[in-house]
Amino acid sequence: MQDTRFNSRALLGIALRRGGQAGAVALLVGTLSFFMMRWLPGDFAYRIAAGRYGYDLVSAEAAEAVRRELGLDAPWYTALADWWLQLLRFDLGESLVTGHRIIDEVAHQLGHTLSLAFAAIALSVVIALPLGIAAGLRPRGWADRLGEGAAIALRAFPPFLLGLLLVIAAANLSDAIPAAGHGEAGNLLLPALTLALGLAAASSRVARESVARVVASDYYAFALTKGLSPRLALWRHGVRNAALPVIAYLGVQLAFVIEGVVILETLFAWPGIGHALVHAVFWRDVPMIQGTCLMLGLCFVLLNAAVDLACLLLDPRRRRGT
């Protein structure tokens, strides 16, 4: 029978902390984007006017009109305050390139990014847990040494290079694995695998550590003397103890996931938020940069909160408030 009384203090703590972080993200991204608008070389009023009327028809007067309309002439403190107010109203503006509303575009891309992130995380757990357990069951055995070597090698590789190697290998080995793009069934495999390998490199080591700790513990030895087979003993006594650090470590790895998503989406032409961000940086589309960065940051905070909740659920000590 499980105690399902939740520790409301812990929940409130998570909500406050993550809520505060979300606010900090919005403030930071918004302010940086504002200064980007002002400091980047090239005249933004001119670009916006050219985007509206076309390059052939735009003139200095049109740019001036846009400048007055958007208040780009105002002193920076009033303009910054206006900018923050806009953010509070969830008004992210329109893209300088396509003219569509940022909110619509980002909402559309969010699904793609989340599916990639979740697939990568799930795949990394599938890869890391068996390897970590096999290594931890026999520390310093051949599985352990092999795993450590592989983990070091994988961690030392830049993600985009790993992705490219996988693409090249896939293109040469099998006709069936798609190299890039979106829309076909197998398209998710390579980007998710690239990210998952990088994640699994570290989390397999964490799993190994915790399994090794369980195997060396007293209650495990006691279970063995009771007559349980090693596997059953591990399953009953060890898995939850071993799983908790892995899940907690996922929280640490979320930053890696978000950063990896940005690069790998570009490489694999996956139409998610990371791809849109890189695109926007290239085109100096400041509203889009702000929108995508904001969304990625908020996703990060949200996923962190989810991990906090998962840890709370899994750890009976914290749940009951001891």
Partner 1 sequence: MNVDLALTRRQRIGAALLVAIALFCAAGPALVGDPRVLDLMNFLSAPGLEHWLGTDHLGRSMVARLAHAGQLSLGLAALSVLSAAIPGVLLGIVAAWRGGWLERACVVLADSVLALPGLLLVLLLATLAPGAFWPLYLGLALAFWVEYFRVVRASARSILASPAVEASRLLGFGSFYLVRSHVWPELRPVLLTLASFGMAAAVLAMAALGFVGVGIKPPRPELGVMMIELLPYYQEAPWLIAAPVLLLTLTLLGLVLIRPQEAVA
Partner 2 sequence: MGRSLFMPGRRRWLAAGLASSGLAAWPRWLQAGPSVRALRVVGPWEITGLDPSRAGYLFSRHGVSETLLDIAEDGNPTPALATHWEVSADQRHWRFHLRPQARFHDGSPVTPQAVAAALQFARRKPGGMGLVPLEAIDAGTDVVDVRLAADFAALPAVLAHSSAQILAPASYSTGGSVRRVIGSGPYQLTGIEPPQRFSLARSPHWDGPRPAIAAVDYLAVGRGESRALLAESGQADIVYGLDPASWQRLKRHARLQVHSVPLPRTIYLKLNAGHRWLAELPLRQAISLAIDRAGIAHAILRDPQAAASQLLPPALAQWHDADLPAMGQDIAVARQLLAAAGWQPAADGIRVRQGAKGGERLALTLRTFPDRPELPIIAAAVQEQLRQVGIAVEVLLGNASDVPAAHRQGTLELALGARGYGIYADPMVTLLQDFGPEGGDWGAMNWGNQTVPAALAALQGPLRERDRHALRRTVTRTLHEELPVIPIAWNLLAAAVHPALRGFTLDPLERSYRLERLLWGEA
Which residues here bind partner 1, judged by CB under 8 A?
Answer: 17, 20-22, 24-25, 28-29, 32-33, 35-36, 39-40, 139-140, 152-153, 155-161, 164, 168, 209, 212-213, 215-216, 254-255, 258-259, 262-263, 266, 277-278, 281-282, 284, 289, 293, 296-297, 300-301
Q: Which of 184, 218, 225, 322 binds partner 2 (CB under 8 A)?
A: 184
Please state the three-class secondary structure of the chain as a single string: CCCCCCCHHHHHHHHHHHHHHHHHHHHHHHHHHHHHHHHCCCCHHHHHHHHHHCCCCCCHHHHHHHHHHHCCCCCHHHHHHHHHHHHHCCCCCECCCCCCEHHHHHHHHHHHHHHHHHHHHHHHHHHHHHHHHHHHHCCCCHHHHHHHHHHHHHHCCCHHHHHHHHHHHHHHHCCCCCCCCCCCHHHHHHHHHHHHHHHHHHHHHHHHHHHHHHHCCHHHHHHHHHCCCHHHHHHHHHHHHHHHHHHHHHHHHHHHHHHHHHHHHHHCCCCCHHHHHHHHHHHCCHHHHHHHHHHHHHHHHHHHHHHHHHHHHHCHHHHCCC
Contacts of partner 2 in 266-285 (CB under 8 A): 266-269, 271, 279, 282-284
Q: Is 98 in the site for partner 2 (CB under 8 A)?
A: yes
Instruction: Give whichever of 167 and 277 is closer to partner 2, judged by the CB atom.
Output: 167
Instruction: Give whichever of 285 and 308 is closer to partner 2, judged by the CB atom.
Output: 285
Instruction: Give whichever of 188 and 202 is closer to partner 1, judged by the CB atom.
Output: 202
Residues lying near partner 2 in the complex (CB under 8 A) are found at 42-43, 46-47, 50, 54-58, 97-100, 164, 167-168, 170-172, 174-181, 183-186, 189, 231-232, 234-235, 266-269, 271, 279, 282-284
